[in-house]
Amino acid sequence: FTYDAPVLADRSVRVVFGVGSLYRIGGEAAQLGCRALLIAGPHEDAAADVVAAELGPDLAGRLRDVAQHVPTDLAHEATYRATQLGAEVLLAVGGGSATGLAKVIALRTGLPILAVPTTYAGSEMTPIWGLTDAQGKTTGRDARVIPRTVLYDPTLTVSLPPQLTAASGMNALAHALEALYAPDATPLLATVAEEALRALAEALPVVVAKPDDLDARAHLLFGGWLAGWALGSATMGLHHKLAHVLGGTYRLPHADLHSALLPQVAAFNATAAPEAFTRAARAMHVGSGRCVGQALFDLATTVGAPTSLAKLGLEPDAVESVAASVAAATVGNPRPVTEADLVHLLRAAFVGNRP
């Protein structure tokens, strides 16, 4: 085989992984700039207070207003604050929403990001930014939004409630699975994605059963890191297209949405990408690639992650309209998909049928 291995030094991300790594934020932030703008929602107050104490006079300001899918108004206001405060570095502490807001500011100002993820969404490892307005969600790829440094501290994920943990873990599984059958998958990417699936599938039930188990939290966060890297390195398929349209148009909670869709998309794609699903089955300790969709559904049920779009508040009428919109778009997916397929798949996800 021939492929371009990702060893470009100018795209590397400095990763600090381990319990207590949050306390290294002062020194790490100083490598990137002196005046730091801290972006952390209200649920991340405890971690944000530690950051504020570590930064001392280098903390230029603090933004607590973050929201999923980065509404344009919020992005304008945050960019204005960053400029007004003379920020030199953006510190994003939180899930994909905090990272997402920092990314849009970075896109507009060129400021470097230091990310401290507290969920398993994986945005900190990708060049993907997103913005949402009344017309829907726009995404793009830009090297400027890739964080320069990421601190993974498993301690920070202990406060993530079991339901959010479960859904966020399913979100990470979706990145890894779609990377395995991506049109631009490479042997290196497939190896990382398989390892991500293994870590996530093993650690998720343990973490949900024992939220304080730091070893399991570290294992899950490691899986989230690898899955995020896979997301950033591959072209995603049908699953991410559906999540993009449903999330951007109906504003459903991001990770929950991924959880309800993933088993159905996996079952739909299994026969079209046998090698990828053999790897997925091996990682998830499942007998055959054809059973991965069912195994994902069972995992979601075990950990209490959503399996039904109806229970997330989607109206039944949305099924046909999302199917039409996705059928009209270009989606790089191993199995060609018709509008009728999409209606069938979305109805199953709507009800929450085991595939």
| Site of interaction with ligand NAD (CB under 6 A) | 41, 43-44, 68-69, 94-98, 100, 118-119, 121-123, 126, 128, 130, 156-157, 159-160, 164, 168, 171, 231, 254-255
- Give, as one character, the DSSP assignment of residue 251: -
The nearest distance, CB 231 to ligand NAD, in angstroms, is 6
Nearest to 180 by CA among 286, 272, 261, 294: 272
Nearer to ligand NAD, 196 or 255 (CB): 255
**Residue 333 corresponds to which tokens in the numbers above?**
């997916």
Of the candidates 198, 216, 100, 201, the one whose C-alpha atom is nearest the C-alpha of residue 158 is 216
C-alpha span between 296 and 345 (Å, rounded): 15
The letter for the amino acid at 252 is L
Chain center to CA of 174: 9
Write down the least CB distance from residue 2 to ligand NAD, Å.
27
> What are the strands, taking DSSP E only, across 260-310?
none
Q: Which is nearer to ligand NAD, 113 or 345 (CB)?
A: 113
Q: Tell me the two tokens of residue 156.
A: 């920070």
At 218, the amino acid letter reads A
Q: Which residue is nearest to ligand NAD (CB)?
A: 96
Nearer to ligand NAD, 160 or 273 (CB): 160
d(CA 352, CA 235): 27
**The residue to which tokens 């903390």 are assigned:** 59
User: 226, 232, 48: which is closest to 126 by C-alpha?
Assistant: 232
Q: Measured from the CB atom, is 128 or 280 closer to ligand NAD?
A: 128
Q: State in angstroms the smallest separation of the CB of 289 from ligand NAD.
A: 25
For 286: left if phi > 0, alpha if psi spans -120 to 50, otherwise beta; the answer is: beta
| Pairwise CA distance, residues 101 & 86, whole Å | 17
Instruction: Kindly tell me which of 228 and 289 has the beta carbon lying closer to ligand NAD.
Output: 228
Q: Tell me how far, at minimum, the Cβ of 235 lies from ligand NAD, in Å.
A: 13
Least distance from ligand NAD to the Cβ atom of residue 114, Å: 16
**φ, ψ dihedrals at 257, nearest 5°:** -60, -45
Beta carbon nearer to ligand NAD, 210 or 354: 210
Cβ at position 135, least distance to ligand NAD in Å: 16
Query: Least distance from C-beta 67 to ligand NAD, angstroms?
Result: 7
Residue 34: CB minimum distance to ligand NAD, A? 27
Q: Which is nearer to ligand NAD, 43 or 62 (CB)?
A: 43
CB of 228 to ligand NAD, least distance (A): 7
Interacting residues of 15 by C-beta distance below 8 A, sequence separation 6+? 149, 150, 152, 225
The residue among 169 and 289 lying less far from ligand NAD, judged by its C-beta, is: 169
Q: Considering only CA atoms, give the Rg of the chain.
A: 19
User: Residue 285 carries which side chain, given as an amino acid letter?
Assistant: H
Closer residue to ligand NAD, CB minimum distance, 237 or 289: 237
Strands 128-133 and 136-141: antiparallel
